[in-house]
Structure 1
Amino acid sequence: MAHGTAHIGETAWRTEIMVGGHAITADEPEALGGQGAGPAPYDLLLASLGACTAITLKMYAARKAWPLVSVDVDLRLKGSKEEMRIERKLSIVGLDEEQKARLADIAERTPVTLTLKSGLGIETELV
């Protein structure tokens, strides 16, 4: 499965992440005391869902040999902390309405979508 690390040092909120062999910098916006050097944690969550959605839909269309031109995924985190939800809008080019509807249905079952909808246990230990 996946593995990642995150390191924060003396610079306020700037966090260096290594995941899948890729370096990512996360930070908070200046309005929250950060430097805006990278996406904030919830931005990374949306990025993960958006990437999984786009990739899964493209893979499905390729398997079906559908003439998909592009998929755009627009994501917004909405609500309060108690009732948070993600609004996802798909823009699909190159397919007919039936194919688009099928991809919208598939979007509800992408791996990251299912993980977010079902919740995920987290075990924490000091080392």
Structure 2
Amino acid sequence: MTKHPVIIEDTGLGLFQVEVRAQGASFLSDEPISSGGLASGPGPFDLLGAALGACTVMTVKLYAQRKSIAVSHVQVMVTHQRDPESRRDVFERSIFIDATVTGEEMKLLLAAADRCPVSRTLSAGSDIVTTRSETAIATARRVEDKTHIRAMDRVCDELADG
């Protein structure tokens, strides 16, 4: 298993503001003012929703390209809430696909969305292993991570074979 680190550290500004660095890019994550943050970036659950939405758009576009399905635009809206009875997190995903396609092609595009790697990860759950680092974590920026693109390729291959 290849490890591709994402480095997150507090900025020293406000209680919750952190800088996130991944693949040569960086951005802020924070909580809203009403929760004691500075509202300087998306919160952690916004980032989970963004990961789900981004993966969905990427997987649908990749599958459409592989199958020569003319898709001109894909848009996803993700909301998050916790079910008060089951205490499970629920991500609701609404997908707009601008394309002139048959009903069967749309069905395949939506199947690709349901199988996107982040959707599978959130649905299955994950193991989280925590360790303590004795020294500050290196802040070197990684240049290339192909883990996600390989997972999307597998989804498209599975749909083609099944």
Q: TM-score scaled to structure 1, two decimals?
A: 0.93
Partner residue in 1 for 2:43: 40
Q: How do 1:55-66 residues align onto structure 2 when only pairs under 5 Å count?
A: 55-66=58-69
Is 1:17 the equivalent of 2:23? no
Measured after TM superposition, the shift of residue 2 of structure 1 is: 2.8
- The percent of aligned pairs where both chains have the same amino acid is 32
For residue 35 of structure 1, give the secondary structure of its aligned residue in structure 2.
coil
RCO comparison, higher one (Cα < 8 Å, 6+): 2
Partner residue in 2 for 1:89: 94
Q: TM-score scaled to structure 2, two decimals?
A: 0.74
Bigger radius of gyration: 2
Runs of 5+ unmatched residues, structure 1: none
Partner residue in 2 for 1:111: 117
C-alpha distance after superposition, 1:23-75 (max 9, x if no partner): 01000000001110000010011111111000010000001111111111111
For residue 123 of structure 2, give the secondary structure of its aligned residue in structure 1.
helix
Number of residue pairs matched by the alignment: 127
Write the letter of the residue equivalent to 1:93.
Answer: D
Runs of 5+ unmatched residues, structure 2: 134-162
Q: 1:29 aligns with which of 25, 28, 32?
A: 32
Write the letter of the residue equivalent to 2:79.
Answer: R
C-alpha distance after superposition, 1:87-127 (max 9, x if no partner): 11111111323211111111111111111111111111111
**RMSD (Å), alpha carbons:** 1.3
